[in-house]
Amino acid sequence: MTRSETLFQAAQLVMPGGVNSPVRACRAVGTYPRFLSEGRGSHVIDVDGNEYIDLICSWGPLILGHCHQAVEEAVLEAVRHGLSFGAPTEIEVKMAELVTKMTGTEMVRMVNSGTEAVMSALRLARGATGRSKIIKFAGCYHGHSDSMLVKAGSGALTGGAPDSAGVPAEMAADTLTAKYNDAASVRSLLEANPGQVAAVIVEPVAANMGVVPPQPGFLEALRGLCDAYGALLIFDEVITGFRLSAGGAQRHYGVHADLVTYGKIIGGGMPVGAYAGSRKLMEQVSPLGAVYQAGTLSGNPVAMAAGLAQLEILENNPDIYTALERKGKRLQEGLQEIFRKAKVPAQVNRAGSILTVFFSKTPVTGYDQARACDLERFAKWYRGLLEHGIYAAPSQFEAMFLSAAHQEEDIDAILVAAEEVAKTL
């Protein structure tokens, strides 16, 4: 037995499924999780000493790769001054100044995860509009708060249960679900619930049913519908924020959202989330306004140090995004060519540096198509990649993430491995 298997056995005795977050358990792909011990740039090493090219990058946060020197040094420096105060610190001001500047928002509140960011933004939307219903899209994932576990993506979809037990029916009743890339489905819900919808929340690029980019005009249509029906538009940029561009999806697609949620990249690998928007909206949050929200460890100085160091690098090096686009495009086109040659029907969806391989004859533009793909073939593909030293997401309902640390040689190596694996599918 490998050391990973031994650890996994021990873990399952004391942790549900042996993990602290479900997709990590690798159940959908028929294997056990590799326990990781070290990351270096674009590579990770497991407890058995196997080295992999990392296409998960902590599910997105590590856009500069593992152990980036500037991020590491900023964290160590912060640690020396104290882990936490529960009082304002200078770095929180710097962080808020940089985040609002990069994202074109006016005010931001730091929290500790993407889940918390979304939960808080929804409360603010409800408080500001005096309305209670929320429209989300089937297959979009917005963290695990009660009202968002309705037709959810990511681990909920991987586990085959997009609606969670333990969510009161009354709570779920206020969550209406529309179809991604189908603005007409949103219009119908808004018309059927006049004056009741507080917000439409969307992943501007859906990445938790696998990567499904917005079709031209879809995000613009959502903006128009929200304006027409008095609902707020919330972009959940927990994945796309600081990834599609330094200014996230809002700047990339030129569509303005009323509230935006962040997570993953914003913390540089530390647990951070944030929600941001106009001064007028954000001033309704406590202690200024009536919408209560707080956090003992929010704005934690060590977490802020990691996030700020990473964001400063992204802000000051726009060429990172050009390179990510180039590497993403090469990987996408290379994979498509490999599947074409191997006569394996597959779609490689991509937005910038996030990609998903769907085993499907027809294009995947939404939830229904994503669910209809060949998941057994995906499991085989995953296990094949792993054997060839490629560490990809263990579920089709997730993205592969590239980082600035991935070199052209990494892309070469991934394509060589993919070609071998494709032959076995």
Q: Are 175 and 136 in contact (CB under 8 A)?
A: yes
CA 308 – CA 127 distance, rounded (Å): 30
354 forms bridges with which residues in the sheet? 351, 401
224 forms bridges with which residues in the sheet? none
CA 31 – CA 26 distance, rounded (Å): 6
The structure tokens listed for 78 are 């912060």
CB of 26 to ligand PLP, least distance (A): 18
Beta strand pairing status for 390-391 and 197-202?
unpaired
Among the listed ranges 3-11, 112-120, 363-371, 414-422, the one in contact with ligand PLP (CB under 6 A) is: 112-120
How many residues belong to the site for ligand PLP (CB under 6 A)?
14
Applying CB under 6 A, does 141 fall inside the site for ligand PLP? yes
CB of 304 to ligand PLP, least distance (A): 16
Q: How many CB atoms lie within 10 A of CB 36?
A: 18
By CB neighbour count within 10 A (0-12 exposed, 13-18 middle, 19+ buried), where does 330 fall? middle
The structure tokens listed for 7 are 């650890």
Applying CB under 6 A, does 208 fall inside the site for ligand PLP? yes
Applying CB under 6 A, does 203 fall inside the site for ligand PLP? yes
- Length, in residues, of the chain: 425
Enzyme catalytic residues: 141, 236, 264
Q: Which of 2, 31, 113, 164 binds ligand PLP (CB under 6 A)?
A: 113
**Which CB, 23 or 348, lies closer to ligand PLP?**
23
Q: Which of 42, 89, 115, 403 binds ligand PLP (CB under 6 A)?
A: 115
**Which CB, 263 or 299, lies closer to ligand PLP?**
263
Among the listed ranges 135-143, 210-218, 242-250, 376-384, the one in contact with ligand PLP (CB under 6 A) is: 135-143
Applying CB under 6 A, does 263 fall inside the site for ligand PLP? yes
Applying CB under 6 A, does 114 fall inside the site for ligand PLP? yes
Applying CB under 6 A, does 205 fall inside the site for ligand PLP? no
Q: Are 344 and 425 in contact (CB under 8 A)?
A: yes
C-alpha distances in Å from residue 238, one per residue of 203, 260, 353, 391? 8, 9, 14, 22
- 212-251 residues near ligand PLP, rule: CB under 6 A: 236, 238-239
Applying CB under 6 A, does 398 fall inside the site for ligand PLP? no
CB of 232 to ligand PLP, least distance (A): 17
CA 379 – CA 396 distance, rounded (Å): 8
Catalog residues that contact ligand PLP under the rule CB under 6 A: 113-115, 118, 141-143, 203, 208, 236, 238-239, 263, 273
